[in-house]
Chains A and B, each alone.
Chain A
């Protein structure tokens, strides 16, 4: 297997824990190829970093307007239901 082929299969290597066990050629290539090892590691860390990022808080000023809009829409959609505040 070449680096090129490993790159093509990178999503599977990253996403599918069983891929490395299933396709021994991936594991064989990786164990002998430092650049590919690093690329896989870099991509894993990139995803991890984005996932672990602080959430974006919804602006507090928006929250009130948003609730009012929902309430008004709800009353129009379900005129018989009485949303209590």
Chain B
């Protein structure tokens, strides 16, 4: 089973047990924990950064930092969400560096619902997602669409919808308010919906929304 298809971050006893053993100096346990989580960490970093080399750096920094701060885990959250939070912060640092900014614009004030675009191309999809997922060209479309999101929207979508963190965990990982996570998630979802439906929708079923003027 692939790491991405595993059920989203639940406090599995296994992760916790491995971490506890690692905290007492058991390297084999730590390696097993890394083996369980590295795929998700890599996928999160890749999706945020869109690039393999940077994603590798994030994986390495994340687990080295965990060795350094292994006693910092207090068990308030699932081990996996703790690890993903650390990884996300390293990924954000890479974004900052890339943009040459002291901070990535994750905390540039609250966004409001008014900034969420209305749906325009509304149509039924020609094929169900499980069939689409098998298509070779789908990866490129999905990668392109997610790369077009603003960083601050993409990060929220990756953690919340792809990795299955709760809204609260996502807010905590990103240092945002829950309300802000919700509006950014909605924004990301609507933008991706628009983009994918233009590609995957059946134009014959297209309907025109009646809220054009609201």
Tell me whether B82 is interfacial, beta carbon within 8 Å. Answer: no
A-B contact pairs, 26 of them (CB 8 A): A3-B209, A3-B210, A7-B118, A8-B113, A14-B189, A35-B119, A35-B122, A38-B207, A39-B193, A42-B197, A43-B190, A45-B129, A46-B192, A46-B197, A50-B161, A51-B4, A51-B164, A52-B5, A52-B130, A53-B139, A55-B43, A58-B39, A58-B56, A74-B30, A83-B28, A84-B28
Question: Does B214 interact with chain A (Cβ within 8 Å)?
Answer: yes
Q: Are B123 and A38 in contact (CB under 8 A)?
A: yes
Q: Which of A8, A38, A77: most chain B Cβ within 10 A?
A: A38
Which residues in B have some Cβ–Cβ distance to A below 8 Å? 2-5, 25-28, 30-31, 34, 38-39, 42-43, 46-47, 52, 55-56, 59-60, 63-64, 67-68, 70, 113, 116, 118-119, 122-125, 128-130, 132-133, 138-139, 142, 146, 157, 161-162, 164, 182, 185-186, 189-190, 192-193, 196-197, 201, 205, 207-211, 214
A23 at the interface (CB under 8 A from B): no
Residue on A nearest B205 in the bound complex, by CB: A38
* Alpha-carbon distance between A3 and B120 when the two chains are bound, in angstroms: 13
In angstroms, Cα B113 to Cα A10, docked, is 11
Question: A70 with B34: in contact, given A35-B208, A83-B28 (CB under 8 Å)?
Answer: yes
| Residues on B with beta carbons closer than 8 Å to the beta carbon of A77 | 67-68, 70
Interface size class of A (residues with CB under 8 A): 35 or more
Q: How far is the CA of A51 from the CA of B165 in the complex (A)?
A: 13
B211 and A46 contacting across the interface, CB-CB below 8 Å: no
Residues of B within 8 A of A14 (CB): 189
**A56 proximity list for chain B (CB < 8 A):** 42-43, 46-47, 55
Q: Which residue in chain A gives the minimum CB-CB distance to B161?
A: A47
A1-45 Cβ-contact flags toward B at 8 Å (1 or 0): 011100110110010000000000000000000110011011101
